[in-house]
Amino acid sequence: MNTLSFHLIFHTPAFLGDAQQNGRWRTPPFKAQLRQWWRVVYAAKHNYSVSVSDMRREEGLLFGNAWLEGDFRKSLVRLRLDRWDEGSLRKNQWLADSSVTHPEVTNRQVGSALYLGYGPLAYQKSTTLKANAAIQAGETATLSLAVPEKHADLITQALMLMHHYGTVGGRSRNGWGSYTLKPLKETPTFKGLTPLRDWRACLDLDWPHAIGKDENGALIWQTSPHDDWRDLMKTLAILKIGLRTQFVFTHGRVVGTPEERHWLSYPVTNHEVRDWNQLRLPNSLRFKVRKTADGKLVGVVFHMPHLPPAAFGPKRQVIEAVWQQVHQLLDHLKLDPSKRTYLMIPEVAPVLRRGALRTGLDTITLNRSPE
């Protein structure tokens, strides 16, 4: 067995619920993360020609399973945290939330943290924790793993991806629960490149298996540095509102045919698709918060494209057009807002005329990440 140890630090609050739904340090969320990113590494190793049943079998034999008939087993990978105590961020310590503009709601002013964290966060005269506690930004622990030698390479690559892109807990795709893994003792530093695949080819599969790329490089964008996580989460809230509201609904509350916006994620409040019933489509565009060398924080936006499951009746041509528009808008945010050069860009001008700038999107500058 290879042993690996990491100093784990959170950069945004994490909503890791225990039996009482209070935030608590626990190993299962990190094991789930390890399995998710292991699948990404597995897919790259097999050049994205993957038999899901074969992958699931290998995953079950490595991480433990109760479904492989005649081959039930415990996990060969062992995880340990040096602390399992409750998070230090209490309900009465949550600070007042700054607001962002949302053009589709009556009041138009929405708490930025509430928008990205609805569920773990609630509104009771102001934004607050729904449960009693959460893990606070800045909290640390030691995460240790014991890994079979023959599986160490793929596990180490998955840990590298967790370090760069991983988030845990409620609303983690919105950037909550962002963390860093710093190798300790004899554990080697992370090496290797992020597996990338042409984003249109990613639509060949209906599960998240790679970060996409296009002719301009990886579909990974980074914000300018921020002094603290609250300001950065406000930036990410503005960004998410702008990306969604650029697609304007043209029909009523219930439609038979999905509109463009529905392909970003589903369900959408007050805009149902009749045949989708209780289906759920998570957004494949994800957020991560990282700390820079000088102690500031940056937001990372990355796309893990995949085709929605067959139950949605996905129309690939429409889905490609939707995500291409999202990529274009993210790319054009690298321009200097003060010059108002957005209005000169034919691809983006129609988006801005529909009101996306009213969300505050013109205050954000993004750059493609070199990864």
Task: Tell me if 145 sits within 8 A of 79, measured CB to CB.
Answer: yes
Domains, the chain, ranges and CATH? 1-90+134-192 (3.30.70), 194-371 (no CATH)
pLDDT for res 139: 97
DSSP 290-326: EE-TTS-EEEEEEE---PPPGGG---HHHHHHHHHHH
364 phi/psi in degrees, rounded to 5:
-105, 135
pTM of the predicted model as reported, rounded to 2 decimal places: 0.94
Q: What is the mean pLDDT of each run of 10 residues along the chain (371 residues)?
A: 97 92 94 97 97 94 88 92 94 89 81 94 89 95 96 97 97 97 95 95 97 96 96 95 88 91 94 92 97 96 97 96 92 67 53 60 84 72
Closest CA to 304 of 83, 43, 68, 105: 43
Tokens of 22: 């209070």
pLDDT for res 343: 47
pLDDT for res 338: 58
Beta strands 254-255 and 272-273 are: parallel
Spatial distance between the Cα atoms of 3 and 138, rounded to a whole number of angstroms: 25
Number of other residues whose CB lies within 10 A of the CB of residue 103 = 15
| Whole-number Cα distances in Å, 156 to 65, 161, 323 | 21, 9, 31
pLDDT for res 340: 47
The residue written with tokens 């590298």 in the block is: 160
DSSP 107-128: S-EEEHHHHHHBTTEEESSSEE
Look up residue 130 and give its amino acid.
K
pLDDT for res 185: 87
pLDDT for res 33: 96
